[in-house]
Amino acid sequence: MTYWVTLPDLVKSNRTLWHFNAVLSNEIRGLLAEFGIVIATSIGRLRKALPEFLILLCQITQKPLFAWQKTF
């Protein structure tokens, strides 16, 4: 069975992924802002800051991020 994908289909898929990525990053940024943590609107800056924030959060709370992780 052969499926044909046209250029408009790919463009629509790409737009959908970018839209989902923007919505998700804005949601994360909004949740962090409720706790006083402000990150610039760039998706790249959020990708860079989020892992650093999660590591810091684990160190402060002395609790693992996931159940299988050991405490610090």
Report yes or no: 59 and 66 within 8 Å, Cβ to Cβ: no
- pLDDT tier, 69 (very low <50, low <70, confident <90, very high otherwise): low
pTM for the model stands at: 0.64
pLDDT at 8 over 70: yes
Please count the other Cβ atoms lying within 10 Å of the Cβ belonging to residue 17.
10
In whole angstroms, give the CA distance from residue 49 to residue 39.
Answer: 8
Q: What is the mean pLDDT of the chain?
A: 83
Q: What is the pLDDT of residue 70?
A: 64
In whole angstroms, give the CA distance from residue 51 to residue 42.
Answer: 15
CB contact set of 65 (below 8 Å; sequence gap of 6+): 54, 57, 58
Q: What is the pLDDT of residue 27?
A: 92
Report yes or no: 35 and 53 within 8 Å, Cβ to Cβ: no
pLDDT digits (tens, 9 = 90+) for 14-42: 888 888 988 999 998 898 888 888 888 88
